Amino acid sequence: MTVNLFGESQQALAEIVSEFSDKPFHARQLFSWIYSRAETDLVRMSNLPRPLRAALSERYGISHPRVELRQTSRDGTVKYLLRLEDGKAVEAVYIPEKTRVTLCISSQIGCPLGCTFCLTAKMGLVRNLTAGEIAGQVAVLAREHSLAANGYNLVFMGMGEPLNNYDEVLAAFRLLTDPQGFGIAARHVTLSTAGVVPGIRRLAREDPRPRLAVSLSATTDALRNELMPINRAYPLAELFLSLRELPLAPRETVTLEYVLLRGMNDRWEDARRLASLAGRLPLKVNLIPYNEACRDGYAATPLESARAFRDALLSRKIPASIRRRRGADISAACGQLAILDPAILEHPIPVA
């Protein structure tokens, strides 16, 4: 059985290649073939010596997650069920817009945080994804839609809490942003967290690093404790202190993601408190309509009320917008990614 090279760093590839070649540039060429040129056949890597290709092929291979199911929304969004090497599955989403494409990828299978309005939380945590499995989602979706590097935005907003899988997520980020790898500009990558403060502080020391989005969805500790149990460990004051410590570049902002829940967090006083929490922090607020198929006991804020909430923020000089719902008819919208059937999660879907 061969070992999959996809997901290995340039340093790791150099150690592997050194067994067969004393020329360091061969590892750089191999790295470029795997990530920049998306080649999965070692034999076709024509600028590597034939004996090196043959030797590598005996022990190693290159493979991406396998597309098992595509679901296409009326709005053009496509949700993918991807099968991994160990047989487990994960979901990723392609979202086309008029002026850009966004790929939404997962960092874990399931999620351990238990946010009560999120369907992914019902899965619990199955396992973390490896750097190769994370970057592999990007490779598959880019291939499926013939996307060029920097021809799309990338968001870690699928299944899982990225900062709870920090090392593998950042290893994938480095592969994705390496000029000799995927070549994606770091400013086109956004990582969304539910508020893992130690991870935010660790991320602040990375250079480059992805843009940061924080799932907030409440303006008091009492309500956020109820909706997002992670707040009990990292309450609002501590969370916003960590955000103020971020060394933001000029014109860089933090995004606050705020799921609007009817009668719970969508009142005028919630908007006022949100503006107060924001203070002078360079940020923007992304108001997210709740997708009612997610969890029982919650309802979506009516559009008119959502607009009033947005306008209340704008009147206080807080940049705010309402996210357009995408892919809800195929359960690909915010909070809807989940594989709740163990048979689908663990085993391939039978072909009819």
* Tens digits of pLDDT across the chain (352 residues): 799 999 999 999 999 999 999 999 999 999 999 999 999 999 999 999 999 999 999 999 999 999 999 999 999 999 999 999 999 999 999 999 988 999 999 999 999 999 999 999 999 999 999 999 999 999 999 999 999 888 899 999 999 999 999 999 999 999 999 999 999 999 999 999 999 999 999 999 999 999 999 999 999 999 999 999 999 999 999 999 999 999 999 999 999 999 999 999 999 999 999 999 998 899 999 999 998 767 788 999 999 999 999 999 999 999 999 999 899 999 998 889 999 999 999 988 875 4
CATH 1.10.150.530 domain locations along the chain: 3-61
pTM beyond cutoff 0.85: yes
Concerning whether 245 is annotated as a catalytic residue, the answer is no
CATH dotted code for 66-346: 3.20.20.70
Q: Which one of 91, 133, 161, 168 is the catalytic residue? A: 91
Q: Which residues of 162-189 are buried (b: 16+ CB within 10 A; e: fewer)?
A: bbbbbebbbbbbbbbbbeebbebeeebb
Concerning whether 85 is annotated as a catalytic residue, the answer is no
Tell me which fold the domain 3-61 belongs to: DNA polymerase; domain 1 (1.10.150)
- Bridge partners (DSSP) of residue 257 are 215, 286
CATH 3.20.20.70 domain locations along the chain: 66-346
Q: How far apart are alpha carbons 111 and 128 in whole angstroms?
A: 9
Q: Can you point out the beta strands (E) in 150-276?
A: 153-156, 189-193, 211-215, 254-260
Q: Which one of 104, 115, 294, 334 is the catalytic residue? A: 334
